[in-house]
Amino acid sequence: MSQLQESFMSQPKKNSAGGRIETIRGELGVGEFASALGVNRKTVTRWEADDSLPDGASLIALRERFGADPGWVLTGSGEPPNTSSLTPDEEVLLEGYRALDPATRRRMLAFMLTGSEPAPSGSKTVTVTAHGGQAAGRNIKN
């Protein structure tokens, strides 16, 4: 095999369904990707080798879990999926977070980091510990 042929063979097949599926998989391992789609590793390997194409259920799973348009997967026409490392749910959360006013952003961030909503400004939290070690807290406004 010539050096040119070897170079060509080692290039990802971006212009094939298998190459597009490799693009969607990105950094994920074959097993993890297969599990996310509800198929086995050999199925993904056959897709990426262009030995077979995903069935309808797999195309739907590719769309739901990775945002891949079935038409793009099969033909290359249409919109390629967003290849960021965020899941579709994370994309929605990020868009919503960015749309919040600064005060609400701070409260949401505090909630995510601590698991509890911060006390309203201008209030103090008083914690009372009972004899059995149980604590009860209450916000008191000034």
Q: Could you report the per-residue pLDDT of 124-138, keeping only the tens digit for each?
A: 555 555 555 555 555
Clarify whether residues 47 and 108 are in a common domain.
no
Q: Where in the sequence is the domain holding 66, given as residue range(s)?
A: 3-75
Answer yes or no: is 94 within a domain.
Answer: no
Q: Which two tokens stand for residue 107?
A: 């409260």
pLDDT number for residue 7: 41
- Beta partners for residue 137, in sequence order: 127
- Does the residue 92 lie in any domain? no
In a domain? residue 81: no
CA-based Rg of the chain, rounded to a whole angstrom? 25
- Residue with the two structure tokens 């069935």: 55
How many domains, in total, are found in the chain? 2
Domain with residue 24: its CATH number is 1.10.260.40
**What residues in the chain have per-residue pLDDT under 50?**
1-12, 140, 142
Residue 54, SS3?
A: coil
In 20-130, beta strands by DSSP E: 123-129
Structure confidence at residue 4 (pLDDT): 41
pLDDT tens, residue by residue, 57-78 = 999 999 999 889 999 999 998 8
**Beta-bridge partners for 126:** 138
Amino acid at 104: T
